[in-house]
Chain A
Amino acid sequence: MNEILNMQDICKSYFIGEEEIKVLQNVVLTMHQGDFLSVLGPSGSGKSTLMNIIGCLDIPDSGRYLLTGHDVSNLDETELARIRNKEIGFVFQSFYLLPRLSALQNVELPLVYSGLPPSERRKRAAQMLSRVGLGDKMRNLPNQLSGGQQQRVAIARALVTNPSLLLADEPTGALDQATGQQIIHLFEELNRDGKTIIIITHDCNIAAHACRVVHILDGRLTEKELIPDAAGKH
Chain B
Amino acid sequence: MLLENIKMSWMNIVKNKLRSFLTMLGIVIGVASIIALISLVQGASDNISSEVTKLGGNKILINIFGTPLKQGLSINEAENIGMLENVHGYSPTISGKTSVVYNGNVMEGISVQGKNDVYFTTDPDLLHSGRAINILDLESRSQVAVIGSNIVKDLFYAIDPLGKKITINGTSYVIIGTLKATTGFSLGSTNDTVVIPYTTAFRSLGVKTISSLDVFLDDTNLADETVMAIKGVLNQAFNYKEDAYTIFNMGDIIESFQSIMSMMSLLLAGIAAISLVVGGIGIMNMMLVAITERTTEIGLRKALGATPFTIQLQFLIESIFLSIIGGLAGILLGTLLANILAALIGVWVSVSLPTYTLAMGFSAAVGIIFGFMPARRASRLNPIDALRSL
Instruction: Show the binding face of A for B, using Cβ within 8 Å.
Output: 52, 55, 57-58, 77-78, 81-82, 84-86, 90, 92, 94, 96, 98, 100, 109-110, 112-115, 157, 161
Bound CA–CA A98/B4 (angstroms):
15
Bound CA–CA A109/B297 (angstroms):
12
**Contact call B307/A77, Cβ cutoff below 8 A:** yes
CB of B240 within 8 A of chain A? Answer: no
Interface residues of B in 293-315 (CB under 8 A from A): 296-297, 300-310
B355 smallest CB distance to A (angstroms): 39
CB of B384 within 8 A of chain A? Answer: yes
With contacts A90-B303, A98-B300 taken as known, whether A81 is within 8 angstroms of B308 at the C-beta atoms is yes
B272 smallest CB distance to A (angstroms): 37
**Contact call A81/B302, Cβ cutoff below 8 A:** yes
Q: Contact check: which of A57, A86, A92, A98 meets B297 at CB < 8 Å?
A: A98
Chain B interface residue count, CB cutoff 8 Å, equals 21
Mark B365-390 against chain A: 1 for CB-CB distance below 8 A, else 0.
00000000000000000011001001
Bound CA–CA A90/B386 (angstroms):
15
Residues of B contacting A100 with CB < 8 Å?
11, 15
Residues of A contacting B302 with CB < 8 Å?
57, 81, 84
With contacts A98-B300, A100-B15, A115-B1 taken as known, whether A52 is within 8 angstroms of B384 at the C-beta atoms is yes
**Contact call A113/B387, Cβ cutoff below 8 A:** no
With contacts A52-B384, A112-B1, A112-B4 taken as known, whether A57 is within 8 angstroms of B303 at the C-beta atoms is yes
Of A55, A58, A77, A157, the most chain B CB neighbours within 10 A belong to A77
Closest to A154 in B: B300
Residues of B contacting A114 with CB < 8 Å?
305
Beyond contacts A57-B383, A109-B301: 10 other A-B pairs, Cβ-Cβ < 8 A, are A52-B384, A81-B302, A90-B303, A94-B390, A96-B387, A98-B300, A112-B4, A113-B301, A113-B304, A113-B310
Interface residues of B in 242-300 (CB under 8 A from A): 296-297, 300
Residues of A contacting B297 with CB < 8 Å?
98
**Contact call A157/B308, Cβ cutoff below 8 A:** no
Residues of B contacting A57 with CB < 8 Å?
302-303, 383-384
Bound CA–CA A124/B167 (angstroms):
102
Residues of B contacting A92 with CB < 8 Å?
387
Closest to B3 in A: A118
Mark B297-341 against chain A: 1 for CB-CB distance below 8 A, else 0.
100111111111110000000000000000000000000000000
Closest to A56 in B: B303
Jot down 25 A-B pairs with beta carbons below 8 A, ordered by A.
Answer: A55-B303, A57-B302, A57-B384, A58-B384, A77-B308, A78-B308, A81-B306, A81-B308, A82-B305, A82-B307, A84-B302, A85-B304, A85-B305, A92-B387, A96-B296, A96-B387, A98-B297, A100-B15, A109-B301, A110-B305, A112-B1, A113-B1, A113-B304, A113-B307, A115-B1
A225 smallest CB distance to B (angstroms): 33
Of B15, B304, B384, B390, the most chain A CB neighbours within 10 A belong to B304
**Contact call A84/B303, Cβ cutoff below 8 A:** yes
Residues of B contacting A81 with CB < 8 Å?
302, 305-308, 310
Residues of A contacting B4 with CB < 8 Å?
112
Residues of B contacting A157 with CB < 8 Å?
304
Residues of B contacting A94 with CB < 8 Å?
390
Residues of A contacting B310 with CB < 8 Å?
81, 113
With contacts A57-B383, A58-B384, A96-B387 taken as known, whether A86 is within 8 angstroms of B300 at the C-beta atoms is no
